[in-house]
């Protein structure tokens, strides 16, 4: 089971409201390479992993991704806080406001809704771990694009933390892949 902690993993800061940046950042909330996709992908893939190490890595990274989902939500929430409707409309969030006001919803930056089609669970550890490594690299690239899109030093700081975590997760998934390959190889000769 999961237990909630009433704290963020990292202090998510915003120096000033910025509607455009909120619109871009939502990509990492409900987009194809976002934190929801990551958490749900790893969480569901772990059931058929053949070793304890692989089950642990997927469980723990899935859990950390939920913490990142909360950080992204916090940034978007703060970036939209107190912004008048006129400005939301002018900056391209009129459609979003219609459906969700300033609430959080699982959509990407173009308004496309989150779908399970963004993720895969092949029931095959080798295939799934390759997907996971690619997913971490895609999330890393998205964070770099987002860092380039803002001049807010507070937002940049939080995004740099999240970008770093994608690199660490990629590393751990890579080690898990090598470990699974060795495990499957050793079984073949027994």
Partner 1 sequence: MDGNQISMLKKIMEIEFTCIDLNLYLDTHPEDQKALQDYNYYSNQLSMLKQQYEQLYGPLMVFGHSQSQYPWKWVDAPWPWEIEY
* Residues in contact with 114: Cβ distance below 8 Å, sequence separation at least 6, in sequence order: 30, 31, 34, 36, 37, 106, 107, 108
CB 124, min distance to partner 1, A: 20
Instruction: Identify which of residues 6 and 187 has a Cβ nearer to partner 1 in the complex.
Output: 6
27, 150 contact by CB (below 8 A)? no
d(CA 55, CA 69): 21
| Binding residues for partner 1 (CB under 8 A) | 3-13, 53, 56-57, 60-61, 64, 70, 73-74, 77-78, 168-169, 172, 175-176, 179
Instruction: Identify which of residues 38 and 118 has a Cβ nearer to partner 1 in the complex.
Output: 38
Query: With the CA atoms of 72, 76, 79 and 84 taken in that order, what torsion angle do they form, in degrees rounded to the nearest 10?
Result: 180
CB 133, min distance to partner 1, A: 13
CB 90, min distance to partner 1, A: 25
Instruction: Identify which of residues 53 and 138 has a Cβ nearer to partner 1 in the complex.
Output: 53
Q: Which two tokens stand for residue 116?
A: 């399970």
Q: 3-class SS at 113?
A: strand
Write the DSSP symbol of residue 134.
H
Instruction: Identify which of residues 13 and 20 has a Cβ nearer to partner 1 in the complex.
Output: 13
d(CA 88, CA 102): 9
CB 115, min distance to partner 1, A: 25
122, 114 contact by CB (below 8 A)? no
Instruction: Identify which of residues 10 and 105 has a Cβ nearer to partner 1 in the complex.
Output: 10
CA nearest neighbour of 58 among 134, 162, 8, 128: 128
Instruction: Identify which of residues 42 and 114 has a Cβ nearer to partner 1 in the complex.
Output: 42
CB 121, min distance to partner 1, A: 20
CB 147, min distance to partner 1, A: 19
């Amino acid at each position: 089971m999961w237990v909630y902690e009433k704290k963020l993993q990292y202090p998510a800061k915003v120096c000033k409201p910025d509607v455009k940046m909120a619109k871009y950042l939502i990509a990492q909330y409900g987009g194809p390479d976002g934190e929801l996709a990551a958490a749900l992908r790893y969480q569901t893939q772990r059931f058929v992993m053949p070793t304890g190490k692989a089950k642990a890595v997927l469980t723990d990274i899935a859990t950390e991704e939920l913490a990142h989902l909360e950080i992204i939500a916090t940034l978007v929430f703060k970036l939209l806080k107190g912004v008048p409707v006129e400005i939301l409309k002018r900056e391209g969030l009129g459609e979003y406001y219609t459906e969700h006001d300033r609430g959080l919803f699982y959509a990407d930056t173009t308004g496309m809704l989150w779908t399970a089609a963004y993720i895969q669970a092949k029931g095959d550890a080798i295939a799934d771990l390759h997907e996971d490594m690619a997913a971490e690299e895609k999330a890393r690239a998205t964070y770099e694009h987002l860092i380039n899109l803002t001049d807010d030093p507070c937002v940049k700081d939080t995004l740099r933390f999240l970008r770093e975590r994608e690199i660490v997760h990629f590393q751990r998934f890579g080690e898990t892949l090598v470990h699974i390959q060795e495990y499957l190889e050793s079984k073949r000769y027994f």
